Amino acid sequence: MKLKQKPLIQFILFLLFFFVLNILQSTYTALFEDEAYYWVWSKKLAFGYFDHPPLVAVWVKISSLFFEGELGVRFFSTISFTLTLVFIWLIIDIKDKWRFVWLYFLLVVSLALLQVFGFVTTPDTPLFLFVTVFLFAYKRFLQDDHWKNLLFLGFSMAAMLYSKYHGILVILFIIMSNISLLRNKKFWLASLFGFLLFLPHLYWQYANDFPSFVYHLKERGKKPYRIDNTLMHFVNIIAIVGITFPVIFNAFYKQKKASVFYRSLNFIVYGFIVFFFFSTFTSRPQAQWTGVILIPLIIVSFTYFIQHEKARKWLIILGSIQFGILLIARIFLANENISPIMLEPHIGKTWIPLLKEKTESKPIVFVNSYRNASLYSFYTGIKSHSYSVLKGRNSQFDLLDFEERMQGENVYGVSKLLVNNPVLVKKNKTFLNGSAIQNYTTFQKVKCIIKEGDLIITEGKENNFKFTFINTYNKNINFEHVKFIGVFQGFKNKILAKVPIQINNLSDLNAYENKVFEATFRAPVLEKNKNVSFRVALEFYDLLEGYQGNKVYPRFVMGSTSN
């Protein structure tokens, strides 16, 4: 029997082709910086991490059980992508689909972003899989709300949320598309089951003072509106699809969606577009934020292409061109020697070996760069740490024992921010500066707490205040290599001014000891003091100011009025 008369064999062969292609890509393409960061997570599995839920770390951990190197980070992502394609196929219920197996895979390669997550390991990788699993479970639940389908639906809800918090939007838009679910007791039971499965992550957030929620909802802050952010949102929607954008969105728009299930796909696509449109008013959009819409686009548009020959011809033309473009891009990613431009996976090879040589293979404390610290550690095997400072952001390095592992070591402090230090290497268009530090000793996780409402500042004058210094460590600490800095911050935590703080009763602290320090500093005259905050920060070895102090909003008194 001819191959075309065996559509199941065709389907398996296409799956195998993409699986092998992604395995090769995973093996011969250097890691993206964020992938190295998730590799760091996988070294200590937990129910949560600073930036995202834990499944991406699980993906890396599973991969590392089978392989080393890049494939040891990405192997399970290739499995995950393959399963995603299987579940999408199972969701599609048009009778003629088995006659168009080839068209299904052409449609898949016609979606640019989907190809990236065929091998790259990020939180979106498990998210794509479990959004597909959720839609499959939801469709079965609509057909039969038997307890098995109920539990399956609840499991898929939890799995989406364990992948990425964007999963809550998928659930929300499903409910909006079918309000009757709120009157369905079995849907509530499914949701309760999913909530119970998700409880370990919520407890992890609670035990660690909700770092992910604080970062995403508060610390990122709001940015002034810029029209280019909104325009970029729509550019991203086109970019995640590629040159087939017109025919695929036209097919999605024209295909009838009469059933409850297909109406939910409509809500997911437009819901994500509208939701992240409004987010552009306060933040800069990223292409992967709306990547989930690719799944309903495939499900709906595939049916339209089967039924409309003219549209199918355009998909064949544009899809074939796009597959060729993406294939060339894949080759460029894997081989920097033939790539006309330097891509992110190529950059590490230009600075990591040289930095290792310049720092004599010593451990490195990267200031404000969890990406550099992760990538350097992956490719050298040398201990590294990312020290978070106010000019940057916190990361997973602040939650685990990276600082502890560096204590007493002879290290190098390295960062593009250390402009007063010698240049060590050039990374792309920036320079990494740094210098050696003997017997590295820090306690960056201590707390300097000013009581809210207690701080009154006279501009241009000496100011006295008190704060509680909390030693959170099980060791005694001294202040031999530490400076106390007062930091004034404005909108979006922008640093407006820094002043040295003199501690009048400074003394060593015992393990877990708390002490009220009496402090003095001379306040600058700020051009704008509306919504200006102040905090105490520690600066170790001139590595810039950290996050030790709480942020308070003082009452300002003009210096001239105090005379």
Q: Averaged over 340-366, what is the pLDDT?
A: 96
Q: Is 335 among the domain residues?
A: no
Domain end, chosen from 330, 363, 383, is at: 330
CATH at residue 486: 2.60.40.10
Q: Is 442 among the domain residues?
A: no
Q: What pLDDT, in 10s, does the model give residues 6-65?
A: 899 999 999 999 999 999 999 999 999 999 999 999 999 999 999 999 999 999 999 999
239 & 383 share domain: no
* Among the listed residues 80, 398, 387, the one whose alpha carbon sits nearest the alpha carbon of residue 211: 398
21 & 89 share domain: yes
Q: Is 103 among the domain residues?
A: yes
377 & 321 share domain: no
Domain that holds residue 42: 3-330
Q: Is 221 among the domain residues?
A: yes
* Among the listed residues 183, 187, 184, the one whose alpha carbon sits nearest the alpha carbon of residue 171: 187
Domain end, chosen from 387, 406, 437, is at: 437
151 & 101 share domain: yes
145 & 294 share domain: yes
Tokens of 476: 């005694």
255 & 288 share domain: yes
Domain end, chosen from 297, 330, 363, is at: 330
384 & 245 share domain: no
Lowest-confidence segment of 208-222, 269-283, 313-327, 428-442 by average pLDDT: 208-222
Average per-residue pLDDT for the chain: 93
Strand partners, 470: 447, 514
DSSP secondary structure letters along 171-187:
HHHHHHH-GGGGG-HHH
419 & 466 share domain: no
pLDDT interval class at 550 (50, 70, 90): very high
pLDDT, position 563: 38
- For residues 489 and 495, what is the distance between their CA atoms, to the nearest angstrom? 4
326 & 360 share domain: no
Q: Is 92 among the domain residues?
A: yes
463 & 425 share domain: no
Contacts of 13 (CB under 8 A, 6+ apart): none
- Sign, CA dihedral 441-444-450-455, equals positive
Per-residue pLDDT at 247 exceeds 80:
yes
364 & 460 share domain: no
Domain count, the chain: 3
Q: Is 197 among the domain residues?
A: yes
Share of the chain above pLDDT 90, in %: 84
H/E stretch holding 494 reads none
251 & 316 share domain: yes
H/E stretch holding 465 reads strand 462-470
Q: Is 157 among the domain residues?
A: yes
CA distances from 546 to 215, 262, 302, 309, 392 (A): 16, 50, 52, 62, 9
Q: Is 341 among the domain residues?
A: no
User: Against a cut of 0.85, is the pTM above it?
Assistant: yes
In degrees to the nearest 10, what's the CA dihedral of 356, 372, 367, 424? 40
